[in-house]
Amino acid sequence: MALKDFKILFDNPWSTYYSGQTVTGRILLLLDRPKKLRGINVKAKGVANTCWSSDKQELNNEGRYENETQTVTGHEEYFNIQYYVLGSFAGSEIELPAGEHKYQFSVTLPPDLPSSFESDFGHVRYTVKAILDRPWKFDQETKVAFTVVSSFDLNQEPKASEPIQEEMSKTFCCLCCGSQPLTVKVSIPIRGYVPGQRIPIRVNLENHSNVVVDTMKFILLKMVTFHADTPRTESKSEELVVVEIAKGPVRAGDNAMYEQELEVPPLPPSNLSNCRIIDLEYNLKMEACVSGWYHRNLKKNILVFIGTVPLLNYQGSTVGYPSISPSAPKAPSSSEAHILPPLQPMAHLYPSLPPPSYEDSVYSVKSLRERDESEYIFGLRSHFAPKYPVYTFTPQQ
């Protein structure tokens, strides 16, 4: 086999870009003997896809309804850029000698792209593919994914700075008798956060009821709605637990006041702006889990925002919450130290804000293969997790 290695390397070690920025890198070929080809073609594209199996009742020839399983899909294409870095489709045959060969490529991203997103039922994905165009033989290809982040400045979202004050109450019945209420009051200083930031939650639980509260849970949820239009229009919703904290128990007749913090992991920003087939929002679910199989838990969802730029006017002035400010980002490895992380489009608006680091999402994909692709593409089975901006916050006296 002449081709020993074939891969794409990005100049940016984070492989993360913002809309409108330029993606640059190099294509590396390692040959153990001369190889003939027509050229090397680079293809960069950004797409969103949704796909799931759905049951539908169909009327058969006997006039009875039968369940039929169909695969429904949705698709959007944001860009598809293709050009040759060596040779051309109509050019003459080229023979590359044995050894290592490198070719630079450059692709400028369109503005207003949605953020990269990976899930079981859909994704927003950006890839670069290099193709060895070989006359009279099947092409050889390598493929790699990169992350695009759509900036979501929490300072531009009016609701992000709103404080949250929520109260929920419930009574429990036992035979013909009703209990005194279980009341939970929750206070959160703001509604908008960025990955790396901690959501401070103050809880006042008054259990005047006759049941035990086993645990009081706070769960950050990713609420996703997928849309399909082929062969029919359909939507599917998914609720994913991102991170959860809990505390308890609180006995019947007891009260509890305490504070907890929930750290936001690397996540795509809210909304997935400019994507029409995937909707994304985040909820903070509070749930008082009570004992007794016949008693229902007390629960409520609260809308929160996950952004890429933190609220700069939030200094933790609320009593009981420490002041916080962003510190320097996590440093790359020594081999990457001379390369700056990608600059956010609005960085000039906040010159005192240190840049974030870029960290892998907990949601990833095991294969980059698309339905019409061969299984023998280099890099196709590479694990890929989008990287999102993460800030480091330090307490101040």
How far, in Å, CA of 154 to CA of 310, rounded?
A: 6
CATH number of 3-153+328-396: 2.60.40.640
Does the predicted model carry a pTM greater than 0.75? yes
* Amino acid residing at 388: Y
What are the phi and psi torsion angles at 272 (to 5°)? 45, 55
In Å, what is the CA distance from 165 to each residue of 134, 185, 187, 294, 355? 65, 7, 5, 29, 32
DSSP, residue by residue, 361-385: -S--BS----TTS-TT-BTTT--B-
The segment(s) of the chain belonging to CATH 2.60.40.640 are 3-153+328-396, 156-327
Q: Which residues pair with 357 in a beta bridge?
A: 390
Q: Which of 127, 129, 148, 128 is nearest to 275 (CA)?
A: 148
How far, in Å, CA of 273 to CA of 244, rounded?
A: 26
How far, in Å, CA of 166 to CA of 186, rounded?
A: 5
CATH number of 156-327: 2.60.40.640
How far, in Å, CA of 213 to CA of 195, rounded?
A: 31
pLDDT of residue 365: 87
pLDDT per residue rounded down to tens, the chain (397 residues): 578 899 999 999 999 999 999 999 999 999 999 988 899 999 999 999 999 998 876 666 666 667 778 899 999 999 999 999 998 877 788 889 999 999 999 999 999 999 999 999 999 999 999 999 887 778 889 999 999 999 999 999 999 999 999 999 988 876 556 668 899 999 999 999 999 999 999 999 999 888 899 999 999 999 999 999 999 999 999 999 999 999 989 999 899 999 999 999 999 999 898 999 999 999 999 999 988 777 789 999 999 999 999 998 885 433 233 344 444 444 445 444 446 667 787 778 888 888 899 999 988 888 888 877 777 788 776 789 999 999 998 765 3
